[in-house]
Amino acid sequence: MVYDPLADRWILSQFCVTPVPGHQIFAVSKTPDPTGAYFVYDFVLPNINFQDYPHIGVWPSGYFMSTNQFNQAGTAFLGAGAFAFDRIKMVSGDPTASYIYVDEFGSICPSCGGQLPTDIDGTVTPPVGAPNLFMEFRADEFGDPADALRIFAFTPNYTTPASSTFTQVGTDLTLAPFDANSPTSRSAVEQPGTTQGLDAIADRLMHRLAYRNLGTVASPVNSYLLNFTVNVGGGAATSAATYQTGIRWVELRRASGVMTVNQQGTQSTNPGNPAGGTNLWMGSIAQDAAGDIVLGYNTSAS
Q: What is the pLDDT of residues 100-151, one digit of tens each?
A: 999 999 889 999 999 999 999 999 999 999 999 999 999 999 999 999 999 9
Beta bridge partners of 224: 211, 252
228 plus 301 within the same structural domain: yes
Provide the sign of the torsion angle of the four alpha carbons 253, 149, 68, 104, taken in this order.
positive
Is residue 153 situated within a structural domain? no
Is residue 225 situated within a structural domain? yes
Closest among 103, 102, 52, 40 to 76, alpha carbons compared: 52
- Asked if residue 28 lies in contact with residue 38, where contact means CB atoms within 8 angstroms, the answer is yes
Tell me how far apart the alpha carbons of residues 137 and 112 are, in angstroms, rounded to a whole number. 9
- Which residue, of 107, 130, 153, is where some domain finishes? 130
Is residue 160 situated within a structural domain? no
180 plus 125 within the same structural domain: no
Chain-centre distance for alpha carbon 196:
28
297 plus 196 within the same structural domain: yes
Tell me how far apart the alpha carbons of residues 23 and 46 are, in angstroms, rounded to a whole number. 9
pLDDT at 235: 85
DSSP string, 266-301: EE-SS-S-TTTPPEEEEEEEEE-TT--EEEEEEEE-
191 plus 260 within the same structural domain: yes
Tell me how far apart the alpha carbons of residues 253 and 22 are, in angstroms, rounded to a whole number. 37
Q: How many CA atoms lie within 13 A of 8 on its CB side?
A: 3
Q: Which domain holds residue 230?
A: 175-302
Total domains present in the chain: 2
Q: Residue 189: which residues within 8 A CB-CB, separation 6 or more?
A: 197, 198, 199, 200, 240, 243, 245, 279, 281, 300
CA 98 vs CA 26, 90, 95, 157: distances in Å: 12, 9, 9, 10
pLDDT at 4: 98
- Which residue, of 76, 102, 130, is where some domain finishes? 130
- Nearest 5°: the CA angle 50, 56, 62 is 110
Tell me how far apart the alpha carbons of residues 208 and 285 are, in angstroms, rounded to a whole number. 7
Classify burial at 150, counting beta carbons within 10 Å of its beta carbon; exposed 0-12, middle 13-18, buried 19 or more.
Answer: buried
Pairing label, strands 9-16, 23-29:
antiparallel
pLDDT at 106: 86
19 plus 104 within the same structural domain: yes
202 plus 278 within the same structural domain: yes
1 plus 126 within the same structural domain: yes
Is residue 158 situated within a structural domain? no
Classify burial at 263, counting beta carbons within 10 Å of its beta carbon; exposed 0-12, middle 13-18, buried 19 or more.
Answer: exposed
Q: Is the link from the previous residue into 127 a cis peptide, with omega within 30 of 0?
A: no
249 plus 186 within the same structural domain: yes
Q: Is the pTM of this model over 0.75?
A: yes
208 plus 115 within the same structural domain: no
- Which residue, of 94, 112, 130, is where some domain finishes? 130
> How crowded is residue 278: how many other Cβ atoms within 10 Å of its Cβ?
18
pLDDT at 227: 98
296 plus 230 within the same structural domain: yes
DSSP string, 111-124: T--S-EEEEE-SS-
Mean pLDDT by 10 residues, the chain (302 residues): 97 94 97 98 96 97 98 93 98 98 94 97 96 98 96 98 97 97 90 92 96 96 98 92 96 96 98 94 97 97 92
193 plus 120 within the same structural domain: no
Is residue 201 situated within a structural domain? yes
pLDDT at 268: 97
Is residue 47 situated within a structural domain? yes
72 plus 179 within the same structural domain: no
